[in-house]
Structure 1
Amino acid sequence: MSSSDPTQHTALITGANSGLGKAIAMDLARRGMTLVMVCRSLSRGEQARWEIRAETGNEDIYLITGDLTEQADVRRVAAQFKRDFKALHLLINNAGSAFPERRLTGDGVEKALAINHVAPFLLTQLLLPRLQSSAPARIINVGTRFNTAMDLDDLNWEKRRYRMMQAYGQSKLGMLHTTFALARQLEGTGVTVNCVFPGVFMSNLGGTDGAQNAFWRAVARWLGWAIPPAERAAQGVIHHATAPESAALNGQYLSRKGPIKAPAQARDPAMNQRVVQATEALIAPP
């Protein structure tokens, strides 16, 4: 984080009960941070919390449950955090998923877009005052790497044939757009925001139907290399979330080794703002 004592830091990470999120949470707990895990399932969240506490010896591990595809739950998670914790030094928007067919949330938003983009956008906005009052603070959005563009005229896939990985890629591109827009807003505040691509790794993205794992196994066979575990992929996120040399980075698209080139659409500041406005239009009033 910064040069101050990291044991005084409070971190919140979404999707923390398995895969990449759990690996990141385990590392932050080892560093002595007060860690708030946001998980959809109470039972899986409690199991992960128990395992992290047992392995790290850190007792300051807390759980907030919520289905981040639903905006009411995002608001409830933020409200519970602000009620129970007075500071926030690190926000990691990690939770994400992909779906084999088009589904809508209760808010009428395509589900991949809801969890991968709208939820982190809304959660960040709700927690931004707490981050600013705790500065220096960092926001890390866990991204992916697709050379694609968002169709702002069909965010809910009403006109196009739904394709799981294309919908996933566009939702993650939305996160990248709003990362860049927010970074300009935060310049000089002591709060930074960056998007980190952890690399390809084996995960449970897509749920129990195994669609994502089947996809990446096919890619691995084609390219001829093994897919690394989440623990290895987590190292890039952890580095940019905690390393002193990353403290000054703001509005960057990063891998473990440093900045990477964003898709052309995301490099357009005017388009960044259009995506912000389109995202705000998808958010229901509280």
Structure 2
Amino acid sequence: MHPYQATKRTALVTGANSGLGKAIATALAAENTRVGLVVRDRERGEKAIEDIRAATGNDDLHLFVADLADQSAIRAMAQAVQQRFEHLHLLVNNAGSAFPERRLSPQGIECAMAVNHLAPFLLTNLLLDLLKASAPARIVNVGTRIDTSLDFDDLNWERRPYRMMRGYGQSKLGNLHFTFELARRLQGSGVTVNCVFPGVFKSNLGGTDGAQGFFLKLFARLGGWAIPSAQRAARRVLYLANAPELAEVSGQYFGDRRTIPAPAQALDADANRRLWQISETLTAEQGTAGG
């Protein structure tokens, strides 16, 4: 049992079948937390649960399958979580992806924006009542560190030539806008939300031709530095999830156990509200928090 949780702690981790998400889920399971794993592929998810159970001895593991590019799948998955869990004390929005070419989600949204920003926006809001009822509760959004800005007039890449890293960076910047605006709306609720940059680490993000491949090639050119493991990167996320001293800290952007500067646009409260309003529209304004 977590030291400051009266009932058995329950956590939900997206993108939990491999890499950083699996490392986070494994560490939480080792603390005897009830862990829900959100995955896209059922077979890979079942294998991840077998691995985590073998590593930790924790049988309280639950699988939820959803393609996070598809809002209808997110809604169905959120409903399944609400039916399965009577409490939710921790939500880790970890899943992310990069796409070498522009592609559209079932709702007609560019996929990096759909998976990296709109999926955590929608899922969090759908689960917000459960989180509030379970307070104290925490939301941790896994971000990145790319100094960029959102083009509010072309979020769907209809006017510009699509560039993978630009699309990825813009969508992940959405995590910061979302974190800061959500923190404002959650004041006094007993639910905190923070964003963390886990650092560059070994993962399968976007495949070998995707964003992870780009970073690994860049590091190799800079001298072949050792790339940290997902387990090491998970420590940054777990600090936000677990640290008693962060119980009331909200609306912050963390690196390795300390706050780091956010891109200028993400510090603009008007821009945060603007993206929230756009996100409500793009998710049909269902299941979103008021304020």
TM-score band w.r.t. shorter chain = over 0.9
Kept after mapping to 2: 8 A contact 1:15/1:96: yes
> Larger % of helix: which?
1
Q: CA deviation at 1:235?
A: 0.5
| TM-score between both structures, scaled by the size of structure 1 | 0.96
CA distance in 1, matches of 2:143, 2:276: 17
Structure 1 runs not aligned, ≥5 long: none
Q: CA deviation at 1:219?
A: 1.3
Kept after mapping to 1: 8 A contact 2:2/2:9: no
The answer to which of 101-110 and 244-253 deviates more is: 244-253
1:126-174 residue CA offsets vs partner (Å, 9 max, x unmatched): 0000000000000000000011000011011111111111100100111
Q: What residue in structure 2 maps to residue 211 of structure 1?
A: 210
CA distance in 1, matches of 2:260, 2:14: 24
CA distance in 2, matches of 1:284, 1:89: 26
CA distance in 2, matches of 1:241, 1:92: 8
SS of the aligned residue for 2:204 comes to: coil
CA distance in 2, matches of 1:7, 1:240: 20
Counterpart amino acid of residue 136 in structure 1: P
Q: CA deviation at 1:245?
A: 1.2
1:209-255 residue CA offsets vs partner (Å, 9 max, x unmatched): 53334312221123322211111111000111011112121000011
Kept after mapping to 1: 8 A contact 2:143/2:198: yes
Q: Please state if 1:264 is matched with 2:249.
A: no
CA distance in 2, matches of 1:237, 1:213: 19
Match runs of 1:102-121 below 5 Å: 102-121=102-121
Q: What residue in structure 1 maps to residue 221 of structure 2?
A: 222
Match runs of 1:217-256 below 5 Å: 217-224=216-223, 225-256=225-256
1:12-33 residue CA offsets vs partner (Å, 9 max, x unmatched): 0000000000000000000000
Q: What residue in structure 2 maps to residue 59 of structure 1?
A: 59
Kept after mapping to 2: 8 A contact 1:138/1:241: yes
Moved over 3 A (4+): none
Q: What residue in structure 2 maps to residue 188 of structure 1?
A: 188
Kept after mapping to 1: 8 A contact 2:2/2:31: no
Counterpart amino acid of residue 220 in structure 2: R
Counterpart amino acid of residue 69 in structure 2: T
CA distance in 2, matches of 1:263, 1:213: 21
Do the aligned partners of residues 86 and 180 (structure 1) sit closer, same or farther apart at CA in structure 2, a change above 3 Å counting? same
Counterpart amino acid of residue 190 in structure 2: G
**Percent of aligned pairs sharing the same letter:** 56
Counterpart amino acid of residue 152 in structure 2: L
SS of the aligned residue for 2:127 comes to: helix
Structure 2 runs not aligned, ≥5 long: 287-291
Kept after mapping to 2: 8 A contact 1:2/1:136: no
1:77-102 residue CA offsets vs partner (Å, 9 max, x unmatched): 11000011110000000010000000
Q: What residue in structure 1 maps to residue 178 of structure 2?
A: 178
Kept after mapping to 1: 8 A contact 2:101/2:162: yes
Q: CA deviation at 1:280?
A: 1.3
CA distance in 2, matches of 1:168, 1:7: 38
Q: What residue in structure 1 maps to residue 163 of structure 2?
A: 163
CA distance in 2, matches of 1:275, 1:285: 13
Do the aligned partners of residues 168 and 253 (structure 1) sit closer, same or farther apart at CA in structure 2, a change above 3 Å counting? same
CA distance in 2, matches of 1:252, 1:242: 15
CA RMSD of aligned residues (A): 1.4
